[in-house]
Amino acid sequence: MGTKFLTQAQVRERYGNVSNMTIWRWIRAGRIKPPALYGNRNYFEEAELDEADRRAKAEYRRAQAEPPKHTPPHLQNSSK
């Protein structure tokens, strides 16, 4: 089976109708890989998006498992 590519519109829909700017911010931040340009259109490889989703899910789970790095002021014990 060949490689499956998604258009930018399909990628936007895949992630809940995010904006084009959000997709470009994710690319700039390294969350997803830049698209391939064919005939003046952007195409994203579906397998790369799946891998980016797996990485994001693993990072989220790792962050949830760690204790908080700080306590918000309104939750700190003020028994001084």
Tens-place pLDDT, residues 35-63: 999 999 999 999 999 999 999 999 999 98
**Residue 78 included in any domain:** no
pLDDT of residue 79: 55
| Nearest by Cα to 31 from 61, 4, 57 | 57
Beta-sheet strand order (sheet of 36-38): 5-7, 41-45, 36-38
**Residue 26 included in any domain:** yes
In terms of DSSP H, where are the helices of 3-43? 8-14, 20-29
Do the Cβ atoms of 13 and 28 come closer than 8 Å? no
| Nearest by Cα to 59 from 51, 71, 47 | 51
pTM: 0.77
Say how many domains are in the chain: 1
Question: For residue 22, what pLDDT band results from cuts at 50, 70 and 90?
Answer: very high
**Residue 13 included in any domain:** yes
Residue 20 reports pLDDT greater than 60 = yes
Please compute the mean of the pLDDT values over residues 5-22 and round it to a whole number.
97
